[in-house]
Amino acid sequence: MAFFAVNRVGRACVCSMAGLLAAGMTLGMQAETPGAARDAGTLANSAAATGAGQVTTAPCELAPQGSPYIPLNFWLYPALVRLYSLGYLDPAFLGLRPWTRLSVVHMLESTSARLEDAPDTAGNEEARGLYDALMKELNIDAEGPCGKHRGEFRVESTYSVERGISGTPLHDSYHLGQSIVNDYGRPIEGGFDDYTGVSGYAVSGPWTLYLRTELQYAPSAAGYSTALYDLLSQEDNVPPVGNQAQADIPLGPIATKADTRLLEGYLSVHLWGHDLSFGKQDQWWGPAASGAYAYSNNAQNIYSFEINRSEPLRVPLLSRITGPFRYEFIVGSLKGHTDFNDPWVHAEKISMKPTRNFEVGFERTVIWGGEGHVPITIHSFLKSFFSFQNVSYAEKFSRNDPGARFGAFDVNYRMPFLRNWLTFIVDSEAHDDVSPASAPRRADFTTGFYLSHVPGLPKLDLRTEAIMDDQSTSSSVGGKFTYYEAEVPQGYTNQGQIFGHWMGREGKGGEAWSTWHFNPKEWITVNWRRQKNAKDFIPGGTTLDDYGVQVVKRITPEIELDGTFTYEGYKAPVYRAGEQTVTATTIQLTWFPTRKVSF
């Protein structure tokens, strides 16, 4: 693969961000991507005069159209990923999610002709069912610029999640592990937990306002002992005295939580194939289902400014080799850090598709600044953005510290001779290297396969992923490598949870799922997950195994019932003696209204 010289991947990634952004804006002003005709306002609603007495109508006003992002935990993503793995939805970039509703409409439009001409096989019948369900769901967005309305308001969903937990769950992704993962950093404790929320959006021309808020409840709990708190603080090199409120160490006693939280809320504007936004929104920067090293929804979303090339970009001549591009840039403040307080993070990613079956992405994250360390200024941001070389010990502990730097690399590939069956994925992350491609021995890896349907059982799929975060390098000792740096000892966390992959520091394990699809909106899934942390990091180590089943049923076309049961056994001798058993029963009832108000 002729990507870049591997020791310059990160430099190429960052430097080409500015070039691609300029090219994207320039090309976008000339014309949007062909598949985004509706989005760009290139549909002309004119009627030529064909006889006496007929009046020629003027073309409709051409304008970009705003669109909200689809939340990561909606049913559309499993359907879209399966449609991709069945050999369709070629414009999709699995390594850069979420997607806007209109961008998904454009992906589906590019797929319709191939589906119509495809032979009548069991796999293609599954694909047609997925396509029809997705288009029906998204048809509400399909009026376009030539319709009589320029804006709309819609209540997207209302829901209530009731969760009963027996035993003492883990919710410490930075140390011991998590019983519930990829759940927006919601509070969980033994007993009865509740999350009740509503989401909705308003669109006017290129502008979109989106809100999703929850009432969250979790009972009180004993939490970690002072001795365990002191031990984990020393492991992280955080002085226990003066840092008693560390969000990443749940020191007891833990009070009852009854809060209102904004899960997502942003204002965005669509310009020339880009969505520029400010607020809190989902991110999932990787092709795996278990987690994403660069960015996931394992923690609370951060307040950030974002530039997202939401529609694929084709650069003349260059895209003959690289295929279309997508890229994204985020900058915002991390919360829950006490040493140093309020660091900031910026992350940038470029993905490209040299062929319709192959996608590759390069990403870089830098956590920099913080009260009493480096001031957050344009100068310190630019220094961290363009810093690629090792720096001296003195510089790291000065006001010139460029920050903790991480690089990620991911691939997804629909396998030869099995294009409609098997997709191979790799996600990886390295600390203090410009890219995992340049230092694989120092990198974390997730590798896996997704079988879109089993021969003879077209409604059954299978996914497996192996995860290795305990690298074979002397640097990976005591939890002081992956997601960690001495100047940012509370590391890759926001409000106490890792906002990357839940496997965390010096962990290894895997996850497997098998799903029977009754239809695109109804299914039953069984899964297994393992997480094992090294003894040189957590004294005695930790081992967690859980087994789960999920059933999703539509009571009516607009009301979804989602039930999950998980049985977990974990050993964490530093916390509790003997094997602990945790069961979690979760019932979620969601109403997806189909009506909207147009104006």
Q: Are residues 281 and 411 in the same domain?
A: yes
**What pLDDT, on a 0 to 100 scale, did the predictor assign at position 274?**
95
Domain presence at residue 431: yes
Q: What is the mean pLDDT of the chain?
A: 88
Domain identity same for 118 and 244: no
Answer for the pair 107, 83: CB distance below 8 angstroms, yes or no: no
pLDDT given for residue 245 in this prediction: 81
| HSE-up (13 A, CA, CB side) for residue 263 | 23
Do 232 and 279 lie in one domain? The reply is yes
Q: Is there a contact between 541 and 534 (Cβ–Cβ < 8 Å)?
A: yes
Same domain membership, residue 172 and residue 27: no
Residue 164 lies in a domain: yes
Confidence of residue 95 (pLDDT cuts 50, 70, 90): very high
- 463 pLDDT band, cuts 50/70/90, is very high
Domain boundary, last residue among 141, 165, 195? 141
Q: Specify the pLDDT at position 242.
A: 73
- The residues, any chain, with a CB within 8 Å of residue 523's CB and separated by 6 or more, are 78, 515, 516, 517, 550, 551, 552
What local confidence, expressed as pLDDT, does residue 151 receive? 86
On the question of a cis peptide bond just before residue 539, with omega within 30 degrees of 0, the verdict is no
Is the confidence at residue 509, as pLDDT, over 70?
A: yes
Output 360 or 149, whichever has higher pLDDT: 360
Residue 22: per-residue pLDDT: 55
Domain count, the chain: 2
Tell whether 540 is covered by a domain. Answer: yes
Whole-number percent of the chain with pLDDT over 90:
74
What is the Cα–Cα distance from 225 to 185, expressed in whole angstroms? 22
Q: Would residue 16 count as lying in a domain?
A: no
Q: Residues 474, 463: contact at Cβ < 8 Å?
A: no
For residue range 437-454, list pLDDT tens digits in order: 777 888 999 999 999 999
Q: Within this chain, do residues 466 and 557 fall inside the same structural domain, yes or no?
A: yes
Would you say residue 68 lies in a domain?
A: yes
Map tokens 């031990």 to a residue.
231
243 pLDDT more than 90: no
Query: Could you tell me if 182 and 136 lie in one domain?
Result: no
This prediction has a pTM of: 0.90
3-state secondary structure 349-384: EEEEEEECCEEEEEEEEEEECEECCECCCHHHHHHH
Enumerate the β-bridge partners of residue 526: 514, 549
Same structural domain for residues 276 and 378? yes
Q: Mean pLDDT, to the nearest integer, of 116-122?
A: 92
pLDDT tens sequence across 247-293: 999 999 999 999 999 999 999 999 989 999 999 999 999 999 999 99
Q: What is the DSSP string of 411-449?
A: EEEEPTT-TTTEEEEEEEEEESSS-GGG-GGGEEEEEEE
Residue 405's DSSP bridge partners are 366
- Regarding whether 125 and 174 lie in a shared domain, the answer is no
Single residue among 113, 141, 169 that ends a domain in this structure: 141
The CATH code of the domain that includes 210 is 2.40.160.130
Report the DSSP beta bridge partners of residue 163.
193, 586
Nearest to 182 by CA among 260, 288, 95: 288
**Does one domain contain both 426 and 348?**
yes
Per-residue confidence (pLDDT) for residue 16, from 0 to 100: 52
Q: How far is CA 277 from CA 203, 266, 312, 377, 442, in A?
A: 13, 6, 18, 20, 35
Sort strands 404-414 and 422-431 into parallel, antiparallel or unpaired.
antiparallel
Position 562 scores a pLDDT of 98
53 pLDDT tier (thresholds 50, 70, 90): very low
Output the CA torsion sign for 18, 20, 24, 30.
positive
> Helix, strand, or coil here: 499?
coil
Please state, in angstroms and rounded to a whole number, the distance separating the CA atoms of residues 485 and 493: 12
H/E element holding 589?
Answer: strand 576-591
Is residue 7 one of the residues assigned to a domain?
no
Q: State how beta strands 422-431 and 443-451 pair.
A: antiparallel
Look at residue 51 and tell me whether its pLDDT is greater than 80.
no
Are residues 480 and 562 part of one domain?
yes
Same-domain check for residues 111 and 190: no
Instruction: Read off the pLDDT of residues 15-30 as tens digits, 9 standing for 90 and up.
Output: 555 555 555 555 554 4
- Predicted local confidence at residue 477, as pLDDT: 87
Helix (H, G, I), strand (E, B) or coil at 541: coil
**Residue 17 belongs to a domain:** no
Q: Which helix (H) or strand (E) holds 130?
A: helix 122-138
Is the per-residue pLDDT at 595 higher than 80?
A: yes
The yes-or-no verdict on residue 61 having pLDDT over 90 is: no
DSSP-derived letter for residue 549 is E
Given a cut of 60, whether residue 351 has pLDDT beyond it is yes
**Do 477 and 447 share a structural domain?**
yes
Q: How far is Cα of residue 345 from the mean position of the Cα atoms in its chain?
A: 16
Task: Report pLDDT for 473.
Answer: 77
At which of 87, 112, 141 does a domain end?
141
Domain of 465 in residue numbering reads as 151-250+267-598
pLDDT digits (tens, 9 = 90+) for 540-558: 999 999 999 999 999 999 9
